[in-house]
Each structure stands twice: as C-alpha cells, then as structure tokens.
Amino acid sequence: MRELALFLSWIDKEETQITKPDILKHLEYLKNKRNLENISRSRVLNSLNHYFSFLHKEQQINVNPCAFLKIRGTKKTSLYRIYTTEELQQLYDNFYLLFVRNYDNSHIPKNQRRQSDLSKQRNAVILNILINQGATTKEIDTIELCDLDLMNATLKIRGGRKSSERILMLEATQIGILMNYLQNIRPQLLEYHTQENEKLFLTLPEYSKQQTDSPNLMHVFKPLIKQLKEIDSNFLNFKQIRASVITNWLKVYGLRKTQNMAGHRHISTTERYKVNDLQQLTDDISKLHPF
C-alpha cells in the first residue's frame, strides 16, 4: 500500500483520469530521481497493476493503465502459496502428532525402529527451526552446538556464499524443544558416529550399517518433504517455508529488519518477497473501497 500511496500523492489526479503515459512517467521518475533498481520498480508496477485491475473489475475505471506494461531486466519470481504464521505452526504440530507422538512403527523391522524414531524426532526439531527462523536447508546443515544459546534464547545462522550471518531470537516454545533435543535425542544420535561431531543436527547410518562418519545432513530433507506432502497437499518444498516466514516478517518488522533476519545481502532480494503478498494488498484495497 505504501507504493500506491506514494504514486497517488505524486500524480495528483483522480484514479479515473490516470493513463498509461502517467504510469510510464512515474516509473521513469522512480528510476531517475529515486534511483530505484528494476526489481524495485517492477514491484511498484505490480502493486499499481493489482490496484487498477481491482478498480477495473469493480467498474470504477474503463481501462487499466498498467495493462501490458512490464519492466525489462527483472528476474521472474515464482509465487508460492504463502503460509501464515499460524499455518506454519499447525504444519509443525501435525508433523509431530503424526510422525513422532502417534507414529506406528510396527511395520519397521525391530532392529531399525530406534533409528527411525530418532530420525523423526530430530526432523521435528529441524522443521521447528525452519518455520520459526526461516533458515535454508544448507544453513541448517552448518549449525553447530556453539551457535545455540539457550540462556539468551538465540540461534546464530552462519553466513554462506549468498547469505549473511545473523543471530535470531528463539521463540519461547522452542526452548523446551531444543533442550529436550540436546539432553535426550542428540546423545543417542551421537552413539552412531565414529567420532565427536560439533554439528547440532547429526545424521544416522544407513539401516544396513551400525555407524557413520558422514557429517552431511542434506539427504534427510527428501523424506521429510515427502512426509510433509502427506500432511498438506499445498506443501511444495522448504523454499516455500522460507518464503512464507520472510513474507510474514515483512508484515511485522518492515523491509530493513527483515533483510537482516533473512540474511539477504541486498535489499532488492527482500523486496521480491513482497510479490507473495498480493492477496493482502487486495484485502487492503477492499477496505479502502468498500463498494
């Protein structure tokens, strides 16, 4: 809505009088006077197009002045079905209920049941961090014991080739979950390792083996994705989870703080996630124009 308010203030015209040249002039103004990059101007155009499409649908204007306009040189961003904070929590709760607390492991060979149970308990903790801290799967794999500070309720996410290091606050509900993992689950996982490992999340050996020296966690995400798809047909992948977390952060914390929390090196990367929030824009427009 900020982009819309700025445009209407700049143009100083009634909506019914705005034309395509007006839109083009505004985009040129954003480029030359405000030094906005193409991705930022594209976001503005998307917001304006959504607004005028709404007015056209409601027969308040005859023509959408943004129709067929496009900013060249912008990377197309895939739109995910965005989960609310409550829906993310429900996804976690359902996973824990179905695959940890009430999971029937009678079909699993007895000599493999302990590993199966441990992997699901570990994966529930991983999922809890994904839905709360918005980490990537690669970032999850790099978290070490020293990065977790339960006394101060913080978790350090290490920077990578494309992301910056940041320290994020833990939710109150996460303290008990992580404490239980450290005291009861991780020590059992460590028994399967041939040497000491400082990673927070540990792998398990293949069922045909007794021990492992592999520190790589990435292979655990494929079965977790499959299980989450069984729970929710809208679930696609963990990029969708991260997109949902960042989109929800934008509503609460704004652009700059969200950039830091997400580990984005460039503000334009964070701005792309505003595209996911067009439905919220529709709701806001409806409040402004209750026809």
List residues bridging with 193 in a β-sheet. Answer: 212
> Under DSSP, is residue 104 helix (H, G, I), strand (E, B) or coil?
coil
C-alpha torsion sign, points 276, 280, 281, 286: positive
Domain 85-240 superfamily per CATH: Intergrase catalytic core (1.10.443.10)
User: Model confidence over 47-101: pLDDT tens digits?
Assistant: 899 889 989 888 999 999 998 888 876 655 556 789 999 999 999 999 999 999 9
User: Is the whole-model pTM more than 0.75?
Assistant: no
| Percentage of the residues of the chain whose pLDDT score is greater than 90 | 63
Check pLDDT > 90 for residue 46.
no
What does each C-alpha distance from 211 to 150, 186, 190, 194, 199 come to in angstroms? 29, 15, 10, 6, 16
Q: How confident is the model at residue 214 (pLDDT cuts 50, 70, 90)?
A: low
Check pLDDT > 60 for residue 259.
yes
State whether CATH 1.10.150 applies to domain 2-76: yes
Check pLDDT > 50 for residue 171.
yes
Check pLDDT > 90 for residue 182.
yes
Domain ranges in the chain are: 2-76, 85-240
Check pLDDT > 80 for residue 212.
no
Question: What's the token pair of residue 30?
Answer: 């954003």
Mean pLDDT computed over every residue of the chain: 88
User: Model confidence over 225-254: pLDDT tens digits?
Assistant: 999 999 999 999 999 999 999 999 999 999
What residue type is assigned to position 151 of the chain? M
3-state DSSP: the chain helix, strand, coil percent, rounded to 5? 60, 5, 35
List residues bridging with 154 in a β-sheet. Answer: 149, 169
